[in-house]
Amino acid sequence: MSSVKLFSGTNSHYLAEKIAGFYGKSLGKLTIQKFSDGEISPSFNESVRGCDVFLIQSTCPPADNMMELLLMIDAAKRASAEYVTVVVPYFGYARQDRKDKPRVSIAAKLNANLLSAAGADRLMTCDLHAGQIQGFFDFPVDHLDGSAIFVPYLKTLNFDNLIFAAPDVGGTGRARSYAKHFAVEMVICDKHRKRANEVASMQVIGDVEDMDVVLVDDIVDTAGTICRAADIIMEKGASSVRAICTHPILSGKAYDNIEGSALEELVVTDSIPLKKPSEKIKVLSVAELFAKAIRNIHDHDSISALFI
């Protein structure tokens, strides 16, 4: 077998070090220089010829993170790496996965094309905004499930009256999978938006009285939706409400929204670094999950064995 080498982009170095630790290897030596105007120039400081190379980088904004990853892929292929897998814990621009109105781009497909053009052989990611985005790629995609992180944590809370909630109709599938695993019911928060990141109205479909409610989502951006849902759920008589969201984008007034909401806690992963800590935000690590997935890929073992 070819040897495994792990490298990290600038944005995800904190996570890549933990992944490498769980895998049992040190991160490879990579230098990423920037010209005065911000132009990025990565270079590998060790041979990757014939190696199974894993490049770890979330592609959250700014766009430099995606450009840096593309250049890392190109550098690895030109250095004769045998196989290049991009490990993207958070795949950015995934919310733009269709034409929901005239004359807009499908950014998720464009990013998939860019990764292909750069020479990537495989993508490993977690909780895409829409599962069908896997079909945008012309190479294998390993789509890890955040439930492997959240389910063990939720079991430690020992709820007597647990129920799951989808913060919008689009998240019904995610909430249903958790409800099915725990053999409990679920409710849906039906929302209407005036524009992006602004909720006009919301109502709860289902009974949450005296229940311990867990909202399930893949990303939390401004936290407007999740906090509005939490407040309404408590108004409907719930005993408690918390949320699990894989990717903590937390932009704009997100921290103020969370602190002022009825949420007992927001449980997220470290797929994206937090801008600042908060007493209401608990971070669980995806490092061990990705390390196991990397090992299984290299050993040609099943990835589905890691799913709950």
**β-bridge mates for residue 123, sequence order:** 86, 141
Going by C-beta distance under 8 Å and a sequence separation of 6 or more, which residues neighbour residue 57?
A: 8, 9, 10, 11, 12, 65, 68, 69, 72, 86, 87, 88
Catalytic site includes residue 25: no
Catalytic residue, chosen from 191, 194, 253, 282, is 191
Residues carrying an active site annotation = 191
